[in-house]
Amino acid sequence: MEKLITVGVVYGSTRAGRFCDKVAGWAAEQIAARAGFAVELIDPATPRDAGIVQQRIALCDAFVVVTPEYNHGYPAPLKALIDSVGAEWHAKPVAFVSYGGISGGLRAVEQLRLVFAELHAVTIRDSVSFAGAWEQFDGAGILLQPERAERSMATMLSRLRWWSVALSNARNAAPYAQIA
């Protein structure tokens, strides 16, 4: 029997009227539609006790961070959420769905790769990016031309599954310990 992988979908924006809800909603639907995945939503806009955030991240096997790009970087609330937890990120895979203007959020993702490397997380090379995202989704959050993004998401989730299983097996064989 295939192991159920709990994927934390981490929202990257807390702005009022944020577009992140549409992109994260699409990502969560894509993940939930695939066999063997369960979705755990982690939203920094929802007030939460730091201990609860820590527990929710700890229970996840893998993560998909949905981030906009603001001024060539990722939002401060996302950094605060990431930094509020430590060892719970260790030896777990992290994938990205980004959105923005012409770059599609890729500059934000490149910065996040550095942050997650410092947290001993493994980032997935494959990602999903929406350049000019506001023109790609309708008012209800439906992707207008989904084929390309769905193919990219399928590849990314296949890699995320592989890394999740491999890292879970490794953590079970020998608990991950930070070497001083």
Tell me the domain boundaries of the chain.
5-173
pLDDT at 79 over 90: yes
Write out the two tokens for 73.
């970087």
Residue range 129-143, pLDDT digits in tens: 999 999 999 999 999
Q: How confident is the model at residue 165 (pLDDT cuts 50, 70, 90)?
A: very high
**Pair 75, 43: CB distance under 8 Å:** no
Per-residue pLDDT at 50:
86
pLDDT of residue 94: 98
Where b means 16+ CB within 10 Å and e means fewer, 116-130 reads beebbbbbbeebbbb
Are the CB atoms for 129 and 99 separated by under 8 Å? yes
Q: What superfamily in CATH does domain 5-173 come from?
A: Flavodoxin domain (3.40.50.360)
> 114: burial class by Cβ within 10 Å (0-12, 13-18, 19+)?
exposed
Q: Is the pLDDT of residue 163 over 90?
A: yes
- The answer to whether the CB of 96 falls within 8 A of the CB of 123 is yes
DSSP helix/strand/coil, 102: coil
Amino acid at 9: V
Q: What is the pLDDT of residues 40-62, one digit of tens each?
A: 999 999 977 889 999 999 999 99
- Cα 109 to Cα 116: distance, rounded to the nearest angstrom: 10
Q: Which contiguous run of DSSP H or E holds residue 63?
A: strand 62-68
CB 87 within 8 A of CB 24: no
* pLDDT > 70 in the chain, percent: 98
CA 73/CA 81 separation, integer angstroms: 15
| Residue 11 contacts residue 66 (beta carbons within 8 Å) | yes
The DSSP symbol for 72 reads T
- DSSP label of 70: B
